[in-house]
Amino acid sequence: MTTPTFEMEQALIAQGYPRIAGVDEVGRGPLAGPVVAAAVILNPQDIPDGLNDSKKLTARRRRTLDEDLRARAEFAIAEASVEEIDDLNILYASHLAMERAVAALHPAPDYLLIDGNLIPKGLTLPAQAVVKGDARSVSIAAASILAKNWRDQLMVDLAQQHPGYGWETNAGYPSKQHREALQNLGVTPHHRRSFKPVHNILYQE
């Protein structure tokens, strides 16, 4: 299993880009809740050990790294709402969340490493799209951890207001419990109406 490194960042620093932000988003697949993005600038002299793609870490390890990153890195976290997801589509809403996270970093980064194969159109800084970036760059991995922890906690909080859907464990993804609750309990204001399983319930004959 490959683990992410600081090699891409080091090469960019050598080219004259000292402040490099890793950018990643979480939550494209769920039926409920916002999409969340984070932008992280690591201190090259103080990088937490064990950074990796958030999906490869236990919840406990993610929480520990989340605390480390908040104490030792520059970061910003941003969302695009369910309404924006339904209005724009999930890809553009994900990009909007990324743009907001980058815009919230002060001072601005010199260069962006963005997870995926597309650079959001609203980003004007020098940038590079990195496929499977959270497995290759520790800066992107750091962003994935902060975004996932933020979103998971948000869905735990929403689960208190809307019990029965299992959001505290499925984070809004279409688990069996979540799909059955949609049928039995109906659609909440936090559901993405443009997503087929939700749309089908709202507009079934």
What residues form the annotated binding site? 24-25, 115
Reply yes or no on whether the pLDDT at 18 is more than 70: yes
| Cα Dmax for the chain | 61
Provide φ and ψ at 109, rounded to 5°: -70, 165
**What is the fold of 7-154?**
Nucleotidyltransferase; domain 5 (3.30.420)
Domain layout of the chain by residue ranges: 7-154
- In the chain the first and final C-alpha atoms are separated, in Å, by 48
**Residues comprising the binding site for a divalent metal cation?**
24-25, 115
Q: Give the pair of three-digit tokens for residue 140.
A: 């992107």
Provide mean pLDDT across the span 9-25: 98
Q: Output the six-digit token pair for 150.
A: 């933020």
3-state DSSP: the chain helix, strand, coil percent, rounded to 5? Answer: 45, 15, 40
Q: Residue 157's CB: how many other CB atoms inside 10 A?
A: 11
Question: Which pLDDT does position 1 carry in this prediction?
Answer: 58
CA 117 – CA 121 distance, rounded (Å)? 13
Question: What's the pLDDT tens digit per position in 39-98?
Answer: 999 999 999 999 999 999 999 999 999 999 999 999 999 999 999 999 999 999 999 999
User: Tell me: the pLDDT tens digits for 159-181?
Assistant: 999 999 999 999 999 999 999 99
Amino acid letter, 48 = P
